[in-house]
Structure 1
Amino acid sequence: MSNTINHIEVKKSSTYLYLVCLVAALGGFLFGFDTAVISGTVSLVKNDFSLSAVSEGWFVSCALLGCIIGVSFSGKLSDKYGRKIVLILSAVLFLASALGCMLSNSFTVLIIFRLIGGLGIGVASMVSPLYISEFSPSRYRGMMVSLYQLALTIGIVLAYFSNAYLANHTGDTYSGGMQTIFSAQVWRGMLGLGALPAAIFLICLFMVPESPRWLLLKGQEQKAEAVLIKIDGSDAAAHEIKAFKEQDDNDSESLTELFKPVYRKALWIGLLLPFLSQVCGINAVIYYGPRILEQAGFTLNNALGGQVTIGLVNVVFTFVAIFTIDKWGRKPLLFAGVGGAVVSLVIIGALFALGVTSGPWILIFILAFIACFAFSFGPVCWVVVGEIFPNAIRGKAMALATLSLWVGNFLVGQLTPVMLEGLGSSWTFWLFALCCSPALWITWKLIPETKGRSLENIENYWKETYKGKA
């Protein structure tokens, strides 16, 4: 009787599903905003604090150290204490960083709060897609996780626009301390604006439930059932809980589980796909877009306009993944997008090598590369790594995969200026094409098609495939 009452009290709501996933995706927005906003502040901070080249580099890259630390502890914390509480932690870190950077009274304090912001990015970059993948019904999971990537790209674009707006209003008059924040030292306003979405993220998180799969892992079946019914109805909830219970519960909660032969393919996918999504050169184009376009003959203003265009194309083509990933599948999008990205990179390198830098061709193929990345590597990577790992260690395993992504990000950030200067633009883009190519082989040989499969079904797939070989 009590079960019947529960089923009547808790009703399925598609609106609820979308709203909860959108709240979790705000972690991606803050990730994108915080990563991109720094581009407009570097020269201003350098002038105000009279920074050396080393200090300038430390200001830009210190957040990356925070990211690596954040990713390192987020997996263990999310498996132990829950996805929701760790998302709340990331929101607090984002909020503290934005306010601290805005009000910092010395370069040392500014660095400390940039490091705190990096911790927030690291935590959100792992836990947000993890939470969405566990929360979403299998038939919508690709689309819902892609919302995270969409929010990330919107965060990047809004950071560009807010930086440009504030930079163009530095002569405006404000009262009291606002004059310093939004006019005299406008970099404070640029960094401080992140506090608004961080506060919204924090407030909204108190209204979302815990991940139902984490609740099941911790034996809180009644709470998990209530959430699952609200997401997808009582029949689907009963099916999910039954599938969860039928799993082999001999799997350890230690990360060493991932190194067993049965999960070896999942481990390779989790390490290689995120890494390759970075070394294909996407962040080189986002971070160094103006410099690359200037080398192609664009003026500075046109180059900055080109960078905004790059950001907008990134947003628009992410919608392609959102509307097709659960219809066409993960593998077709990866094949089409990665293949298109490799071809675009090769052509860009050839245009630079042949000296065809006048006219729109360089920008056209950079935008083609961005478009291909936006509907494949960008969102599909997060979807796949959120699906392929076993329930018992999904948090820790995703932390490892996300750490791989940040290592790739670091290498590209550090080596791109050296490559552009030492090798030239043509060889830089050809190297990116070379680094991007192995993803086609990985998609063909290693990645299973996970469209429409439950997370438990995917976990059983690895076990059945291994038994078949044995």
Structure 2
Amino acid sequence: MPLSGRLGPFIPPRYLTSALIVSIGGLLNGLDTGVIGPLTVMPTFFNTIGPISSIHGFIVSTVLLSATFASLFSGTISDKLGRTRLLAVGSLVFALGATLEASARRLPVFIVGRLVVGTGEGLFLSTLVVYICEISPSKYRDPLASLVQVFITVGLVTDYFMCYGTVRPHSDFFWRFSLALQAGVAALLAILARFWLPESPRWLGHQGRHAAADAAWVVLGIGEADRDNGGEETDTLDSGDRMTIWDRALFDHGRGIAQLRRVLDPGSRRQALLAVFLMSMQQLSGIDGVLYYAPLLFHQAGLSTSTSSFLASGVSAIVICLSSIPAFLRTDKAGRRVPTLYGGIVLATIMALIGSLYASGSVQPDTGVARWVVIVSIYLFAITNCITWALGIKVFASEIQPVPTRATATSIAQSANCITNFAVAYITPILLQKSSSGVYFLFCGCILLTVMVCAVYMPETKGRALESIADNFCRHQPGSYSYIRVL
């Protein structure tokens, strides 16, 4: 990447460091995802909090309920306050929730902490990719936006092995420390977002603050040729300073309704619906069922002790993290469409294989090769998802939206992602108790449906300016993307 001459030859440009800082939000998501599944099956947790077996799935998925609700409003709040302010607010809320979790001695307090954490995640998660897309040069947008997923995998690895200390029955320090660490990281992100990150110049331009937008481009180290900010609509607030509190509330309510109507306009409806579909089906592929309940899945496959099952989960987190690095480096060449289609075919095949082994009764707890096929297949599923769907779908859902509706449409898609994630997290242990194979066939069917929809409706967006993607999207008809270009 080119270096900013204003900052010196050995200092990276501000857009790169800003993308790295914003990606800390992905680290928080990974830390939370990595800790909650292993934590809730370890003795040091339920010996302190109390018995949880009857509501295991509910505790794991509670965070997603509040995240769903908060995500619905995060786009409107982001359009009003700005990207960096919302990042700061969401991070502070997350820090408060993690603090409650770390200090909890009763299950209700822990659940309240989970709800507060989910509210924070819902506020900032959709804004992460939106902000990075809006500050990045077109030719570097793909890898920079993919940094969020790389940081998620780093968080998974970190917390899986931090929670490994919870197998020791005499101390609850380890699981409390992993939650306290989340609170500290979230507080740091809030400070950096509020006082160091430059505001998105595209958001500033959309607000009619063109001088501030030009200044932000300069601070970010991006020249005029890479800004691609032509044709943005402005959304100024006339006489805003003279409004009463009641008038302001009515105005904001009306603007929120108007923004939702914009999302459903012919020029943005197809993009919004596709984003909601893809973000939902990303979870219905079963990936978070694997991440949340990896110890349970490995135990079901025949790893008999909690220590070996949990260690296997940690190893899978390392493999996921390591595999995300070459995928991140290739993301600007692979694009979005081809990894989604080919990756979906591989994911569906793996789920069908695991389901078939369980349905045929081939998987035995102590003997036979089938259990090792299942274990290896779970690894392959997590790796394939990491290098295909996880890297591309969130970025694609954001970058195809028109500028005026990008934050709102992305937040609605993130809300759909959270609610389907809640469903997966809640029903996975229940379905595993009812049928060892049914859940895998369910996920396989959802993946195949996604592949078929993407084969018809999903265009390629790599290397294109944000402002041109929506126009190109609307000019093409369904089916015009049905070719598959070889990698």
Q: TM-score range by the shorter chain?
A: 0.7 to 0.9
Contact 2:206 / 2:233 at 8 angstroms: preserved in 1?
no
What does residue 393 of structure 1 align with?
405
SS of residue paired to 1:210: coil
- Following TM superposition, by how much is the alpha carbon of 1:223 offset from its aligned partner in structure 2, in angstroms? 2.1
What does residue 175 of structure 1 align with?
none
Aligned residue among 461, 466, 469 for 1:455: 466
Over residues 130-150 of structure 1, what are the superposed CA-to-partner deviations in whole Å (9 max), with x where a residue is unaligned?
A: 111111111111111111011
Contact 1:71 / 1:123 at 8 angstroms: preserved in 2?
yes
59-68 or 396-405, larger mean C-alpha shift: 59-68
Identity of aligned residues (%): 28
The residue type equivalent to 1:295 in the other structure is Q
What does residue 31 of structure 2 align with?
33
Matches within 5 A, 1:205-224: 205=193, 206-224=195-213
Contact 1:388 / 1:459 at 8 angstroms: preserved in 2?
yes
What does residue 346 of structure 1 align with?
352
Contact 1:129 / 1:148 at 8 angstroms: preserved in 2?
yes
What is the aligned length?
443
Structure 1's 156 and 9: CA in aligned 2 closer, same or farther, altered over 3 A? closer
CA distance in 2, matches of 1:86, 1:265: 27
Matches within 5 A, 1:285-324: 285-300=290-305, 301-324=307-330
Answering whether residue 81 of structure 2 is matched by residue 76 of structure 1, we say no
254-263 or 185-194, larger mean C-alpha shift: 185-194
CA distance in 2, matches of 1:157, 1:124: 22
CA distance in 2, matches of 1:52, 1:447: 42
Over residues 249-290 of structure 1, what are the superposed CA-to-partner deviations in whole Å (9 max), with x where a residue is unaligned?
A: xxx961212222333321221111111111111111112222
Aligned residue among 453, 456, 469 for 1:445: 456
Structure 1's 350 and 166: CA in aligned 2 closer, same or farther, altered over 3 A? closer
- Following TM superposition, by how much is the alpha carbon of 1:190 offset from its aligned partner in structure 2, in angstroms? 3.2
- Following TM superposition, by how much is the alpha carbon of 1:20 offset from its aligned partner in structure 2, in angstroms? 0.5
Contact 1:21 / 1:144 at 8 angstroms: preserved in 2?
yes
Contact 1:263 / 1:462 at 8 angstroms: preserved in 2?
no
Over residues 199-224 of structure 1, what are the superposed CA-to-partner deviations in whole Å (9 max), with x where a residue is unaligned?
A: 32123222111111101101121222
Structure 1's 331 and 184: CA in aligned 2 closer, same or farther, altered over 3 A? closer
What does residue 464 of structure 1 align with?
475
- Following TM superposition, by how much is the alpha carbon of 1:307 offset from its aligned partner in structure 2, in angstroms? 0.9
CA distance in 1, matches of 2:385, 2:6: 44
CA distance in 2, matches of 1:159, 1:432: 26
CA distance in 1, matches of 2:315, 2:210: 48
Scaled by the length of structure 1, the TM-score of the pair is 0.87
- Following TM superposition, by how much is the alpha carbon of 1:51 offset from its aligned partner in structure 2, in angstroms? 4.2
What does residue 434 of structure 2 align with?
422
- Following TM superposition, by how much is the alpha carbon of 1:390 offset from its aligned partner in structure 2, in angstroms? 1.2
Answering whether residue 397 of structure 2 is matched by residue 371 of structure 1, we say no
CA distance in 2, matches of 1:100, 1:400: 28
Backbone CA RMSD of aligned residues? 2.7
CA distance in 1, matches of 2:342, 2:451: 9
Answering whether residue 16 of structure 2 is matched by residue 18 of structure 1, we say yes
Scaled by the length of structure 2, the TM-score of the pair is 0.84
29-38 or 41-50, larger mean C-alpha shift: 41-50
What does residue 88 of structure 2 align with?
88
Question: Unaligned stretches of 5+ in structure 1?
Answer: 1-6, 172-182, 247-251
The residue type equivalent to 2:198 in the other structure is P
Question: Unaligned stretches of 5+ in structure 2?
Answer: 235-256, 481-487
Of Structure 1 and Structure 2, the greater helix share is in 1
Contact 1:14 / 1:231 at 8 angstroms: preserved in 2?
no
CA distance in 1, matches of 2:432, 2:46: 23
CA distance in 2, matches of 1:464, 1:232: 33
Structure 1's 68 and 241: CA in aligned 2 closer, same or farther, altered over 3 A? closer
CA distance in 2, matches of 1:361, 1:22: 37
SS of residue paired to 2:138: coil
CA distance in 2, matches of 1:428, 1:112: 29
Matches within 5 A, 1:194-233: 194-205=182-193, 206-231=195-220, 233=222
- Following TM superposition, by how much is the alpha carbon of 1:435 offset from its aligned partner in structure 2, in angstroms? 0.9
Contact 1:95 / 1:199 at 8 angstroms: preserved in 2?
yes
SS of residue paired to 2:137: coil
Structure 1's 390 and 49: CA in aligned 2 closer, same or farther, altered over 3 A? same
